[in-house]
Amino acid sequence: MARKSIERNISYDDVRKKYYVTFNYGNDDSGKQIVKRKSFNKITDARRALKEFEGDKVKGNVTMPSGYTVGTWLDYWLKSVVVPNREATTVYFYEQIIENHLKPELGYINLQNLKPSQLQRYYAKKLSEKNDKGIVLSPNTVKKHHNLMKTALGFAVKQGVLLYNPTDRVEPPSVNHKEANFYTPEQMKELFELVTGTRLEITVKLIGYLGLRREEACGLNWDNVDFENRKFIIKEARTQAGSVVVTKGTKNETSARTPYMNDELYKLLKEEKERQDKNKEVFGSEYNKSNLVLVWDDGHPYRPNYLSELFTKFVETTDLPHLTLHGLWIIVNKVDK
């Protein structure tokens, strides 16, 4: 005999000896009625489940089944929210975390079934297991995974796909605030002497004297070098999103500024401008017209990551303590981040 209705939203299958409850979620955005069914061995369990469901609907504690997995939701969030509203570097950074870490580990889970315990285990795994390159992720890095999930799942709550954000019920990794390497005035002087005459000289002295970020030094063009008034106009930055170089505005409104050009920078940049003008004549039509300060002989701009790598390797050849270009910026600006 076929399954038959015995009570409102409850039916009985006398072959399988089970009770089936129909949970009516209402209509979706297209007007289609959404229902789910679940079986129970006892009529009392079926009635209790139906009563709890209907009570939760009245209280607003029921969400429409979405069909999203964690992976498909992250794809939707990235495309619909991040790409239109964030810098290309941020998009690239999020893509790497999602594709290389979150989707392989959590992507298959139904979004509405994602439990805080699964996130907690994910953090623990990332903090203990080596990846295919033999590297264990740092707490700082895993905390960035947590922050991404917190934002993406928070958007799911805002859109009514989730009732609550699972990341609010976990313990995220503790961030280690590392102090930047400290250089004495004597060591800074030695660094400036060692880079003199090298490809790194202008980069290091722009950061060292003016406190520019690497991206700001790479984005400085000759139109914003005011020799007459001895000042720079800092309003653009060049950075990398993977292999793609991106030009954008400075980090925030306060980053746009006009620092003073001291005598050493004045002389150094005057000589560099003359050198580039001569190279324009030598290379002719093959000279790149970027008009940037930090360029190769043919006018093509340096990749920001190349300068970072070159500087790190350069410092390793000296007796100075380990330092990166970002670390140099931290020292000059006396910040801890």
Q: What is the pLDDT of residues 12-34, one digit of tens each?
A: 998 888 999 988 877 776 778 77
**pLDDT attached to residue 246:** 66
Q: What is the pLDDT of residue 337?
A: 38
Which pLDDT band, with edges at 50, 70 and 90, does 291 fall under?
very high
- Total H helices, total E strands in the chain: 13, 8
The amino acid sitting at 299 is G
pLDDT of residue 152: 96
Q: Residues with Cβ < 8 Å from 39, sequence gap 6 or more?
A: 16, 18, 19, 20, 21
For 137, counting Cβ atoms within 10 Å of its Cβ (0-12 exposed, 13-18 middle, 19+ buried), the class is buried
pLDDT band at 223 (very low <50, low <70, confident <90, very high): very high
CB neighbours of residue 332 within 10 Å: 17
Residue 66 has pLDDT above 90, yes or no: no
Q: Residue 241: which pLDDT band, with cuts at 50, 70 and 90?
A: low
Q: What pLDDT shows up at residue 256?
A: 60
Nearest to 43 by CA among 87, 84, 96, 5: 5
How much is the pLDDT for 250?
A: 57
pLDDT at 176 over 70: no
Which of these ranges, 32-36, 164-168, 228-232, 321-325, has the smallest mean pLDDT?
A: 32-36
Alpha-carbon gap, residue 272 to 254, rounded angstroms: 28
For residues 66 and 102, is the Cβ–Cβ distance under 8 A? no
Residue labelled with tokens 């949970």:
23
Provide the β-strand partners of residue 232: 225
- Tokens standing for residue 295: 């360029």
pLDDT bracket for residue 177 (50, 70, 90): low
3-state secondary structure of 87: coil
Name residue, tokens 């298959």.
Answer: 108
Residue labelled with tokens 């009516």: 24
- In sequence order, the 6+-apart residues with CB closer than 8 A to the CB of 296 are 302
